């Protein structure tokens, strides 16, 4: 009986783990507010990732047939390189990420999205999503321990692996400052983490997942300088050697409400790093690529990007001068 019990018991554990993962994935998708009705083709093979090269080939997409969200988008993210998406609100940045994650399928004739030469519509969603790490703007944490929230990135991760990921994500010291350390409960029924801390937990989780492809949605909210620095350091670890697509929101909003932290960070060159160090910047406008190139090339072009950049810098300078006037008046 004991001989039977052990394997049965193991099966029970495995079943619970799988069931838990499915429940969590569904919960995550529900929280992201995305539809999950994309279906795999019968007998679809798994995605085989060689180096994680991403290609958008003449991609067009609309949520509502009357309003195109993306029109004829083509670009390539070669192995291990970084692409930053910039553009006004509604330009189509998030849609590009959603399509790559296959929240929606492209219709026949509306182009193709390829990873290492394989059309993502032809492979299983599970294998595609295994290859992609996502760090969203507002990271979702489960009502569970920090250890569970990080370890979720890799089935069966050891305590040492979880700690190493937290260290690389600049979160270890913060975690150790809680009385229960890694066993501290977070979420609605536990410790409330700040936006920047939640994002670092998500980065640690993604480091453990170790995906060849990364989708990063930069936080729009203002973060203090120290947090900003920690996140940039954590992201640097994460993007190393992976193909990444990042949304740089902060170039699309004028930072009128910014205060002194922003001036400090821009002179420090911290958050601007995502954009300035990207191998390629795509400037989107009304669902089309208006300009593309490196930071230096786009500034030299003197077009849409150069104007957005100038507006951003001007906004920061205005904020700086009003801050110093306020200080003088005191
Ligand atoms: P933001 O910087 O504000 O996040 P974005 O550049 O990421 O904007 P998208 O979210 O990709 O823009 O939106 C592109 C277009 O698609 C917009 O016109 C938007 O209104 C529309 N759109 C986005 N999501 C949906 C949706 N779920 N249903 C219908 N239309 C949508």
| Ligand 1 midpoint to CA 252 (Å) | 14
The per-residue pLDDT for range 122-132, each reduced to its tens digit, is: 999 999 999 99
Closest atom of ligand 1 to 287 CA is 14
Does pLDDT of 168 surpass 80? yes
Any ligand 1 atom below 6 A from CB of 90: yes
pLDDT of residue 260: 32
Both tokens assigned to 288: 């089309």
71, 90, 91, 220: residue to mutate for ligand 1 pocket, most atoms within 8 A of CB: 90
Query: What are the tokens at 73?
Result: 């988008």
Spacing, Cα 283 to ligand 1 middle (Å): 15
Which residue puts its alpha carbon closest to atom 26 of ligand 1?
63
Q: Is 87 in the pocket of ligand 1 (CB under 6 A)?
A: yes
Q: Residue 92: CB within 6 Å of ligand 1?
A: yes
Give pLDDT tens digits for 266-285.
Answer: 333 445 666 777 899 999 99
Whose C-alpha lies nearest to ligand 1, atom 29? 63
List b or e across 148-187, with b for residues whose CB sees 16 or more CB atoms inside 10 angstroms: bbbbbbbeebeeebbbbbbbbbbbbebbeebeeebebbbb
Residue 243 gets the label, from left (phi > 0), alpha (psi -120 to 50) or beta, of beta
Indicate the pLDDT class of residue 256, thresholds 50, 70 and 90. Answer: very low
Give the rounded percent of residues in the chain with a pLDDT score beyond 90. Answer: 52
Q: Which helix (H) or strand (E) holds 220?
A: none
The answer, yes or no, to whether residue 28 has pLDDT greater than 60, is: no
The mean predicted confidence, pLDDT, of the chain is 81
- pLDDT tier for residue 322 given thresholds of 50, 70 and 90: low
Predicted local confidence at residue 1, as pLDDT = 43
DSSP, collapsed to helix, strand or coil, labels residue 55 as strand
Q: Is 160 in the pocket of ligand 1 (CB under 6 A)?
A: no
User: What is the pTM assigned to this prediction?
Assistant: 0.81
Q: Which of 7-21, 187-201, 214-228 has the lowest mean pLDDT?
A: 7-21
Ligand 1: distance of its center to the CA of 54 in Å? 22
Contact 48, 116 (CB under 8 A): yes
Q: What is the C-alpha separation between 295 and 91, in angstroms, rounded?
A: 19
Give distance in angstroms: CA of 106 to centre of ligand 1. 16
The secondary structure of 60-88, three-state, reads EECCECCECCEEEEEEEECCCCEEEEEEC
pLDDT digit string (tens) for 62-92?
A: 999 899 999 999 999 999 999 999 998 899 9
Question: Hey, CA dihedral for 157, 163, 165, 166, is it positive or negative?
Answer: positive
Q: Counting atoms of ligand 1 from 1, which one is nearest the CA of 87?
A: 6
Is the pLDDT at 2 greater than 50? The verdict is no
The answer to whether the beta carbons of residues 174 and 114 sit under 8 Å apart is no
The CA 290 to ligand 1 mean position distance, Å, reads: 17
Ligand 1 contacts CB of residue 269 (under 6 A): no
pLDDT band at 227 (very low <50, low <70, confident <90, very high): confident
Is ligand 1 within 6 A of the CB of residue 86? no
The yes-or-no verdict on residue 45 having pLDDT over 50 is yes
- Evaluate if residue 60 carries a pLDDT over 90: yes
Strands 82-87 and 280-285, how do they pair?
parallel
* Residue 178: DSSP 8-state: S
The complex's ipTM?
0.98
Residue nearest to atom 18 of ligand 1 (CA): 90
Q: Is the CB of 245 under 6 A from ligand 1?
A: no
Q: How many CA atoms, within 13 angstroms, populate the side-chain half-sphere of residue 100?
A: 33
Q: Is the CB of 64 under 6 A from ligand 1?
A: yes
Q: CA 54 to CA 59: how far, in whole Å?
A: 13
For ligand 1, atom 19: residue with the closest CA? 90
Across the range 221-231, mean pLDDT stands at 71
Residue 267 backbone phi and psi in degrees, to 5? -70, -30
């Amino acid at each position: 009986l004991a001989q039977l019990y052990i394997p049965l018991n193991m099966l029970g554990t495995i079943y619970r783990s799988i069931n838990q993962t499915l429940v969590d994935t569904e919960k995550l998708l529900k929280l992201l507010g995305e539809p999950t009705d994309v279906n795999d083709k019968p007998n679809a093979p798994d995605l085989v990732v060689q180096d994680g090269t991403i290609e958008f080939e003449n991609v067009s997409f609309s949520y509502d047939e009357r309003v195109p969200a993306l029109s004829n988008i083509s670009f390539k993210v070669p192995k291990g390189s970084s692409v930053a998406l910039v553009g006004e609100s509604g330009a189509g940045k998030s849609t590009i990420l959603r399509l790559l994650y296959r929240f929606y399928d492209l219709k026949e004739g509306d182009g193709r999205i390829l990873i290492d030469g394989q059309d993502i519509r032809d492979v299983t969603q599970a294998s595609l999503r295994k290859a992609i790490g996502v760090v969203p703007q507002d990271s979702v944490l489960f009502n569970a321990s920090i250890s569970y929230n990080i370890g979720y990135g890799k089935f069966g991760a050891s305590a040492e692996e979880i700690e190493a990921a937290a260290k690389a994500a600049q979160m270890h010291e913060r975690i150790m400052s809680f009385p229960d350390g890694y066993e501290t409960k977070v979420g609605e029924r536990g410790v409330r983490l700040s936006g920047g801390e939640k994002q670092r937990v998500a980065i640690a989780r993604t480091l453990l997942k170790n995906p060849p492809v990364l989708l990063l949605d930069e936080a729009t909210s203002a973060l203090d300088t120290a947090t900003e620095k920690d996140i940039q350091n954590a992201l640097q670890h994460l993007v190393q050697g992976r193909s990444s697509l990042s949304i740089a929101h902060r170039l699309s909003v004028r930072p009128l409400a910014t205060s002194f932290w922003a001036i400090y960070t821009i002179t420090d060159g911290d958050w601007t790093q995502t954009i300035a160090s990207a191998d390629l910047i795509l400037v989107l406008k009304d669902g089309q690529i208006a300009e593309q190139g490196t930071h230096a090339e786009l500034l030299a072009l003197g077009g849409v990007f150069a104007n957005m950049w100038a507006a951003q810098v001007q906004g920061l300078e205005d904020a700086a001068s009003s801050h110093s006037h306020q200080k003088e008046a005191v």
